[in-house]
Amino acid sequence: NMELLDKFREGGQFVLGSNLGATGFGYGREYCGIASIGDSDVSDSGPEKCMFSAYARNSGMFVGISVEGATITSMDSVNNAVYKGEGTATDSLIRAREILSGSCNPPQETKDLYFALRSIEYRYSLFAHPVPPSYMKKYARSVWTIDFSSPPPSRSSPLCPSLLGSSELSFSLRELLLGLTHSEHVSVIRKRELEIFGKKFKRFLLEGVPVTFLGDGSNRREERHMYLLQSPGNSLVDAKIRFFSKELKEGKKLRHSCDLFLLNEGSRNECMTLGRIIRLSQEVPPSAALTPRKRISDSSRLICMQNDSGGKLMFLAKTQKDAELLMCGLKLLLERNEI
């Protein structure tokens, strides 16, 4: 009962109630009427009232009427000793409202426990995200296709000469990754940097990334988690990018999934096989019938995937940095299928 919780946050209340009941041979009824008056909040003009819920069970024979009263208080001095330590001045007592609302820091002894709990509930925001290598970031905004990869950055960029020892050529992303893998001019540190980013990004997707999922041709937007699903023993080509709805994340039973769910089918479990993706971009496809209310105001967070059968999946990353990370990481996964 939220009213009871709100009253307890005030730090104290007085309860007065009456009881009328009768039982016999295991059958009977009991009626309770209990009300409470608590301390008024500083912003209120008078005391607040709320109803109590009560449950009672009697055995044997009983007929009676009773009037009961109780006072419920919180011991601020005890709370203060636990949360702030012994000997703290009384003019800065920790109130029950501060404890229940989480506005005060937990006791020092419980920090390890809180960290463990938050690491389960907020895995996405608690740990540092993988950081793409600087040379990968230059390809983040460009369109990736299965035939041509991502086009090279500006020729004026010193990126490619410094990496691959050439002063004339600029490379597509695929050519750059091939050079990083096989060229003798690339240092071991550069190769190791790319390898570490690939492993961290894969784990990043395996644990789930919150995104805003966009429907096709409607104003529907849903908060979902994007996962990389790869069965043990299967190659990366057969892995799936899947968007789980909140209902599925909470354990509710949904209908079976297949290799691809199109947005306009209204599926709750859209997915796309990684090896079938032929285009990755941050552009709204012409076929997407977005209404004025749903037009993308921040295209730098938009990501669109298209597979070989024409199916499209669109979503918004939470931030521009997340979009850059997802574009770099997804392109790296896709290129590893082609190299």
Q: Which is more confidently placed, 139 or 185?
A: 139
What span, in angstroms and rounded, lies between the C-alpha atoms of 299 and 118? 32
Residue 215's contacts (CB-CB under 8 Å, 6 or more residues apart) are 221, 222, 263, 264, 266
How far CA 163 is from CA of 166, 169, 231, in Å, comes to: 8, 11, 35
Res 53: pLDDT: 47
Res 192: pLDDT: 87
The string over 114-152, giving b where at least 16 C-beta atoms fall within 10 Å of a residue's C-beta and e elsewhere, is eeeeeeeeeeeeeeeebbbbebbbbbbebebebeebbeb
Domains and CATH numbers, the chain: 2-73 (no CATH), 76-121 (no CATH), 122-339 (2.30.29.30)
What span, in angstroms and rounded, lies between the C-alpha atoms of 21 and 23? 7
| pLDDT exceeds 90 at position 303 | yes
For tokens 């799936």, name the residue.
Answer: 240
Q: Element (H or E) spanning 29, and its range?
A: strand 27-38
How far CA 30 is from CA of 1, 12, 201, in Å, comes to: 21, 28, 61
| pLDDT exceeds 70 at position 161 | no
Q: Which is more confidently placed, 320 or 266?
A: 320
Least confident stretch, 1-15, 37-51, 68-82, 106-120: 37-51
Please give the average per-residue pLDDT across 6-29, as a whole number.
61
Judge residue 101's burial from the number of C-beta atoms within 10 Å of its C-beta, 0-12 exposed, 13-18 middle, 19 or more buried. Answer: exposed
pTM summary value:
0.56
Nearest 5°: the CA angle 49, 54, 59 is: 155
Three-state DSSP at 144 gives strand
**What is the pLDDT of the chain when averaged over all its residues?**
72
